[in-house]
Amino acid sequence: MKRFLKSLLAKYILIILIAIFLIQAAYFIIIFVFFNLVDDSDSPEDGENTFTEIEEKWHQEANAVVSEDDVNQLFEEWREVYSNASMFWVNGNGILTVQSNLQENLPVEWDATYTADFLKRNYNNDPFTVVAFAGENEEDGFIVFQLEREAMKPQGQRLFDQYSWAIVMLTIGVVFLFIFISLWFFRGIRKRLVHLQEAMEIRDTDGLPILIEEKKQDEIGDLEKSFNQMVQELRASREREQEEEQLRKELIANLSHDLRTPLTKINAQAYTLQKMNLPKEAKHSLKLATTSIEEVDKLIENLMSYTLLMASKYKKELKEIDMMRFLRQYLATWYPVFEKERFEVDIDIEPFEQNMWKVDSLWFSRILDNLLQNVLRHAADGEYIAVRTESTGHHDAIVIIDKGKGMQTSTDQNGAGIGLSIVDMMVKGMDLDWDMNSTEEGTTIKIIRVKRADD
């Protein structure tokens, strides 16, 4: 129950109840003011007389009138009850003799025509008019009683008709007050939701959302609490992931070191065996074993480099080098290797407009080593390699082409995948780019340097 009372639903129900209470209170105030403070002494009380009763009573009392004094006394008695009523007496000679509170100008002398016209105009009309003969003889004339029909309405109806605008205005005021409070209520909700949305979009230094302040214990407060709990769980997960990543890197580094030591010993023993006079089959097997040892050593080296690159601990020193001179010297060391494997080597190196590239020469050598080793391992059946330069208005590029079966079917063999991952990280680490297009007819790889405005 305590939780419900703090909820947004409970608060909105409270707003509705307050609005209903205000409407009821407003009507109560109106009734109290109208029936207790508004002066309406000029009107008769509710239920005093109906129009029919007034008419019967007027005729009855008119029959008792025999003189002018009787008329005056009758008018005075009726004026005490109906102070706003108009009364007059026209005697048997057609002369307006006695009058009281007339609301219109009437002639002093009345003839039959005017009398008939008066009766026609006032019959069943407003004001309510009663005409009765005075005394028992028609020769004594007639007396007339006139009263606004509004005065005979019940007091509540009269007050409602008179002050209905106040009721309407008060009702409209309460409605607008309810709308204002509702808008204020939902504005607060929207503001808190927008704040929560902004908190979701803002990232801390670790790339995770920031914690937000839990202000109230309602539905949005529960959402804020859940959001903070989610952020804390993400932080804990990120910390565990970083710890596991660090352990994995340390394991790879230690494993690489531990593996290279026995490989070095095995390689040394193989070298010793190669000097001995062995049968042809043994020498062939020894050669295969030596090749496998070298491949494993390269794989371990790539794994070690990949781990260092991922940990941003692989040393990098960018310097301006003459790329044409660097390529010629580097390819000269690889030419005998491809020639030994009976590759057709096609080298076509033309100078760039800007030969100076800002790179790390060791990193760039490692990139080319991985790419050329992939050609030896996976495109040997094509027996072709080409190294060219390419210049466009947008970039300069070093292009390596082979005629193997393509990288789609072979990148997962003998560590080629991790080798290309190292190429990718090193190329981008030197603000260069690269592109590879591999089909069943061969592979083309470009190392691209985008031209700058000052080139």
Provide the CATH topology of domain 240-308: Helix Hairpins (1.10.287)
CATH number of 316-450: 3.30.565.10
Question: Which phi and psi angles does 97 have, rounded to 5°?
Answer: -100, -50
Residue, of 266 and 7, whose pLDDT is higher: 266
Span 199-218, mean pLDDT?
78
- CA–CA gap between residue 369 and residue 319 (Å, rounded): 20
Span 237-256, mean pLDDT?
75
Q: Please, which pLDDT band fits residue 47 given cuts at 50, 70 and 90?
A: very low
Q: What's 51-153's CATH class?
A: alpha beta
Residue 162 pLDDT more than 80?
no
> In this structure, what token pair is assigned to residue 244?
């596991």
Position 389 scores a pLDDT of 92
Q: What is the DSSP string of 53-92?
A: HHHHHHHHHHTT--SHHHHHHHHHHHHHH-TT-EEEEE-T
- Answering whether pTM is above 0.85, one says no
Domain ranges of the chain: 2-40+156-196, 51-153, 240-308, 316-450
Q: Which residues contact 163 (CB under 8 A, 6 or more apart)?
A: 30, 34, 38
Span 91-108, mean pLDDT?
87
Nearest to 193 by CA among 215, 165, 167: 215
Residue, of 446 and 417, whose pLDDT is higher: 446
Position 357 scores a pLDDT of 92
Could you tell me if 66 and 59 are in contact, meaning their C-beta atoms sit under 8 angstroms apart?
A: no
Position 62 scores a pLDDT of 87
Q: What percent of the chain has pLDDT over 90?
A: 13
Q: Is the peptide bond before 279 cis (omega within 30 degrees of 0)?
A: no
Span 83-93, mean pLDDT?
88
Tens of pLDDT along 104-119?
Answer: 888 988 888 888 888 8
Tell me how far the alpha carbon of residue 230 is from its chain's centroid. 20
Residue 45 pLDDT more than 90?
no
- CA–CA gap between residue 272 and residue 192 (Å, rounded): 78
Range name among 175-179, 232-236, 272-276, 449-453 with the lowest pLDDT average: 272-276
Could you tell me if 73 and 58 are in contact, meaning their C-beta atoms sit under 8 angstroms apart?
A: no
Averaged confidence pLDDT in the chain: 80
